[in-house]
Amino acid sequence: MADVTDEAFRQIIAKYSRHGELGGGPDVFFTEFVSADGLCSSGRNILLRDLAYSELEHPMVAQIFSSHPDHIFQAAELVRSLGFDGLDLNMGCPDKGIEKQGSGAAHIKDPQLAQEIIRVAQQGFAGPVSIKTRIGYNQETLDTWLPKLLETQPAAITIHARTRKEMSLVPARWEFIKKAVDMAQGSGTLIIGNGDVRDLDEAREKVQTTGADGIMLGRAIFGTPWLFDETRVISPSLYQRLEIMIEHTYLFEKLLSDIKDFSIMKKHFKAYVNGFDGAKGSSVNNLQDSPSASRNLSPFPQSKTAHRTYSTARNFFNQKDEILQKSEGESTGNYLRKSPKELRIELMATQKATEVETIVRKFLKMGQGN
Ligand SMILES: Cc1cc2nc3c(=O)[nH]c(=O)nc-3n(C[C@H](O)[C@H](O)[C@H](O)COP(=O)(O)O)c2cc1C
């Protein structure tokens, strides 16, 4: 995901999801999408940084986009020379700027060009090429769009279960993943479902109900880099979350601060802190009684897995309660009276990792009653 799954975050995910160990890690990592036009321009050196990865992250797939077959070919050769395990072509991004270039979801409207792009990518990369797309442009058109993709025999097609028009505004329509799986039967192309999946349990459930060969998790990784550790039975404590956030921030600064703005980290701060947001003045029971509580807690308001939202929330509420109880009657520094929301606001004003660490350490120290 652009400005999310950069090298720093992927390394944090690899570490805290125990990638490469038994029961750990995703099956495959993807880069942020990278412009093939840019890779063929004088700005190439900066974009090459988006294709940097560590040995910890294999299997590693590079995602590129363009509407120019010659640029896709050159970029595919480049991606191969960088040792990537796979090449993914973005044919689903709804961003207007990307579509103006004839790329992303615009490919759905021009299947012939899409096929040409896939074929030159296959020639240039000479390894597994996959596609990331949607179920249609203005409406679901898998009957016409999917066969065009399958004709090119890609290794896999990841389908975000919404149309371009739907952006991410409606719940993902998983019935169409099942339809795509049926259509791709016997083609040799894997179908990966995507949209609104919160965790590995839900991913397994989707595989069961649709027959998909795999599931891609996107936003669920925000603030939860341990997401792919199957052996973990309880969520990291508040302290651990914030420690991971500090480590992530230092790594971002070390690897990327010369080319990326520190503001990128602020999305992550929100997500790391969100786990215990809303705790002030609420009890767990109140939340369980309130059907609207999941809306405050979940980044996926349309998710049907409210019970999971509640149980995750309960962990964090218990931790928060514990902090408040421990600190009661003890030192009453300013941070004792700070809510997670206030912590988040302070984090939003930071410009570097040391500031983040100072703020978090004060928050944690006062919480422990030290
Ligand atoms: C901030 C953000 C950046 C994204 N960047 C990309 C991208 O670079 N390439 C891509 O294929 N999809 C990208 N997506 C779309 C996601 O991969 C995914 O299709 C979508 O979020 C739905 O899945 P989810 O509900 O699991 O997040 C992005 C989504 C978000 C929220």
Q: Tell me the DSSP string of 35-82.
A: EHHHHTSTTHHHHHHHT---GGG-SEEEEEE-S-HHHHHHHHHHHHHT
Q: Whose CA is nearest to atom 12 of ligand 1?
A: 1
User: What is residue 321's predicted lDDT score, i.e. its pLDDT?
Assistant: 35
Q: Return the residue whose CA atom lies nearest to atom 22 of ligand 1.
A: 195
pLDDT at 299 over 50: no
- Cβ distance 181 to 191 under 8 Å? yes
Provide the mean pLDDT of the chain: 85
Report the alpha-carbon distance of residue 26 to residue 194 in Å, rounded: 14
Residues 6+ apart with CB under 8 A from 62: 30, 31, 34, 51, 79, 82, 84, 86, 87, 88
Centre of ligand 1 from the C-alpha of residue 4, in Å: 9
Least confident segment among 142-151, 204-213, 270-279: 270-279
What's the pLDDT band for 367 if we cut at 50, 70, 90? low
| Residue 339 confidence (pLDDT) | 78
Q: Which atom of ligand 1 is nearest to the CA of 162?
A: 22
Cα angle, residue 258 at apex, residues 72 and 361 outer, rounded to 5°: 125
Q: What residue owns the CA closest to ligand 1's atom 5?
A: 1
Q: Indicate whether residue 130 lines ligand 1 (CB < 6 A).
A: no
Find out whether the beta carbon of 274 lies less than 6 Å from any atom of ligand 1: no
Predicted confidence at residue 331, as pLDDT, reads 37
* pLDDT for 368 beyond 70: no
Contact 187, 150 (CB under 8 A): yes
Q: How confident is the model at residue 370 (pLDDT cuts 50, 70, 90)?
A: very low
Tell me which of 1, 98, 107 to substitute to probe ligand 1's pocket, judged by most ligand atoms within 8 Å of the beta carbon: 1
Query: In the prediction, which pLDDT does 364 show?
Result: 84
Ligand 1 pocket: which of 217, 219, 228, 305 to mutate (most atoms <8 Å of CB)? 219
Q: Which helix (H) or strand (E) holds 161?
A: strand 156-163
Contact status, residue 306 vs residue 290, Cβ threshold 8 Å: no
Question: Is the bond leading into 59 cis (omega within 30 degrees of zero)?
Answer: yes
Quickly tell me which residue has 């980290």 as its tokens. Answer: 265
Q: What is the C-alpha separation between 198 and 311, in angstroms, rounded?
A: 13
Cβ atoms 269, 246 nearer than 8 A = no
For range 218-234, the mean pLDDT: 95
Residue 13: name the closest of 229, 161, 199 by CA.
Answer: 229
Range list for CATH 3.20.20.70 in the chain: 27-216
Between residues 304 and 269, the one the model is more confident about: 269
Quick one: pLDDT band at residue 231, thresholds 50, 70, 90? very high
302-350 confidence digits (pLDDT tens): 222 222 322 333 333 334 334 333 333 333 344 455 778 889 999 999 9
Using only C-alpha atoms, the chain has a radius of gyration, in whole angstroms, of 22
Q: Is the CB of 213 under 6 A from ligand 1?
A: no
DSSP output for 165-198: TTTTTS---THHHHHHHHHHTTSS-EEEEESS--
Ligand 1 neighbourhood includes 298 CB (under 6 angstroms): no
CATH of 27-216, one of 2.60.120.590, 3.40.718.10, 3.20.20.70, 3.40.50.620: 3.20.20.70
Tens of pLDDT along 16-50? 999 999 999 999 999 999 999 999 999 999 999 99
For ligand 1, atom 15, name the residue with the nearest CA. 1
- For 162-203, write each residue's pLDDT tens digit: 999 999 999 999 999 999 999 999 999 999 999 999 999 999
The answer on pLDDT for 62 being more than 60 is: yes
Work out the average pLDDT over 96-116. Answer: 98
Q: Whose CA is nearest to atom 26 of ligand 1?
A: 218
158 sits in which H/E element = strand 156-163
Q: From CA 153, how far away is CA 161, in angstroms rounded?
A: 21
Which residues have a Cβ under 8 Å from the Cβ of 177 and sit 6 or more positions away?
159, 161, 191, 193, 206, 210, 212
CA torsion, points 178, 182, 187, 193, in degrees to nearest 10? 0
Instruction: Kindly tell me the sign of the dihedral angle through the C-alpha atoms of 222, 224, 229, 231.
Output: negative
Contact 180, 214 (CB under 8 A): no
